[in-house]
Every structure is written in structure tokens, then in C-alpha cells.
Amino acid sequence: MNRLLKMMLPAALICGCSGSNAPELIPAENFADTVDSKPVALYTLKAGDITLQVTNFGGRVVSLFTPDKDGKLEDIVVGYNNLKDYVTPPGERFLGACVGPVANRISHASFIINDTTYNVPANDHGVNTLHGGYKGLDNVVWDVRDVTDSSITLHYLHADGQEGFPGNKSIDMTYSVTSKNEFRIDYAAQTDHATPINITNHPFFCLRGEGNGTVEDYIMHIKSSHYTPTDSLSIPTGEIADVTGTPFDFRTAHRIGDMIEEDNLQLKYAHGYDHNWCIDRESKDGVEIVCSVTDPETGRQIDVYSDQPGLQFYSGNFFKGDSTGKYGRPLGFRSSLALETQYYPDAPNQPNFPSIILTPGQTYHQICIYKFSVSR
């Protein structure tokens, strides 16, 4: 089949789902439009027991269907059911998006490379930069380079000076689903000028289905003995702190809600968890398990594998229930969580953190794998 024709097929046809337990897919026509004069579409990928819907606007994960312990399929990521709400969001901006070129925060919306100061948008509290500024990788149309039944490769050229970041950054990202019930993301980037690069993906997982239940009941394990404390605006202090004896110790799996309301300044700052854990890695750059989260009610489990030094765990503390997701349910306080594999926040301004500066001739690589299973 001609590749271009296949790319334009309706999402449901690419999926080829059938049967009484087939996922209720978002219609492809809900995303068939243009943004900034570039075509946008919705693509459906399927392998094993999982079905994934993504759009090339922001490289966003729109829907992700997995079975529970009884075999019931449910959409376990938060999102909107049409392109308009992603372009002009009624609530959270970063649902399911690829974020960058520098994920997380940059203090004082500036950094220095080779004695040159670069100023970037202060889109976080009017002081700091969050997820690449106002028009980060989440807010642009990516070019579709290739698509199959189980994978899609996207490309974006983040131009020199865009949002204040130096260098023409050529970025490739492949989403794939596998027969092992994995959702895998492969990133690669090159630049023609020294620049910071720290890309991640921002799916909000709700293991009981979008808008159902609370993440406080999930069982969490994080392979980390240290984390990076922050100030009141979520900027790291520079300390790499031991988790022993704190609510940040998930080395032994326990309920997320067990200590989330403890009298702890870090938890008060973030109204829960919204912190970077420094992964206890067994190798320098191998793909290793970094965390697991399980919902005892449905049996759904996510194991996260990564080659990155950090993991940002966000417990959905700033959802207020004032907007709804794809199925008309309110997106409530702590009803979903994010598990973002990445370098440490504010790395360009923290000399004791691993560097994220990419120089000409180098290639940035990252692999993140979300593996889905059921625990009975």
C-alpha cells in the first residue's frame, strides 16, 4: 500500500479492532485539520493487548487502551477528544505531549553557554521557564516521516532562536507499541550550535480509566535513594538529598497516599509529589527499570524503563475538576499521575547536575519504555 495513502487512512481502519471488547476509539475526523498551515491527523497503533492513539500536534498521546485483570479494556491516559481543545486547552496544557526542547524548569528563564547569556520565556509564575516556553514541542505540528500499524516516526526542526534557545535542533521521535505490551519512545536530536536538550513525554496515567478514582491508592516503587529538593516555585535548590526517613522513599513499594499529606515542606510546596528522583542506575546509559506503579483495584501495572538519570513523578496535585476529559468526566485532584524520564530540572544552571548541553557533532539519544501488565 502506498505509504502516503496508508498515513491518511482513518484511525479505526489502521487499528483494525473488532469484537465486543474493542476500544472505543476517538474518530480520526476530530483531528483532521491544519495548525499553522500544517496538516494534523490522528493515528492509531496496535500491538499485543494495547491500542495507542497519537496526534502529530505536539506528538501527543491521546488515548491508550490496556486490559485490566478481568480483560476489560479501558483508556488509561487523560486527554481531549478533539484537536481544538489541545490547541486552546480548557485546562491542563501538557496532556500527553512531548515537551522540550528543555523539559521541566529553567530558573530565572535564562542560562549561560560559553559566556553567552540566553533568555527564554518566563512562562512559569512569570519568573521561570517551563517545558520549553510558550511554543515548546507540545505546541507545534510535527512532520510525519513514517507510519506502520504499530509505530509512527515524527520529525521537528526547532529553529535557532525559537523561544530564545540557540541552535537549529533537528529532532526525531518514534512511538511504537510491541507484542510485549510496551509503549516505547525513541528520541534523537542534533544541533548546529551548543544548546540544552532534555526532552520527555507527559502522559497522565489513570489506571482505573480516565477520570476514575485517585492515584493515592496506587502502589509505587521508585528505584532511587536520592531526589532533588526544590524551592516554593519548583526550582531545585542544588541539593541531592537522601530519601531515607522521608516521604520520598519509594525503594520499598507502598501506597502513594501513605505519606503524601505528611507535615513536610517539600510536599507543601508542591501540594503533593512533583519532584525529580535521581535513579540508582546499574549502568551509565543502559535501559533499566526505574519505577513501577500498580492499581490494586484493576490490577493494571506500569513498569517504566529508561536510560535517563532522572524521573519526575507528579501526582496530579493541580487538577481542580474544572475541566473534563474525553469522556465528560472531571479531571480531578490527584486522579492521574505523570512519570517523566529525563535529566534533572534546571540542569543548565546547576553545575553539580549532569549536563544537558548538546554540541555540534553529537547526537542526543533517549529511550523510554512503558510496559503494561496485570497483577492478580
Point out the residues that are catalytic. 202, 340
Q: Taking the CA of residue 103 as centre, how many other CA atoms within 13 Å lie in the half-sphere pointing to its CB?
A: 21
Q: How far is CA 206 from CA 75, 177, 212, 318, in A?
A: 8, 19, 7, 15
Q: How far is CA 148 from CA 27, 143, 202, 203, 270, in A?
A: 18, 15, 23, 22, 40
Distance, CA of 344 to CA of 137 (rounded, Å): 18
- Residues contacting 286, CB < 8 A, separation 6+: 307
Q: How far is CA 338 from CA 94, 205, 206, 302, 375, in A?
A: 11, 6, 9, 12, 20
| Burial zone of 89 (CB within 10 Å; 0-12 exposed, 13-18 middle, 19+ buried) | middle
The per-residue b/e assignment along 125-146, b for 16 or more CB within 10 angstroms, e otherwise, is eeebbbbbbeebbbbbbbebee
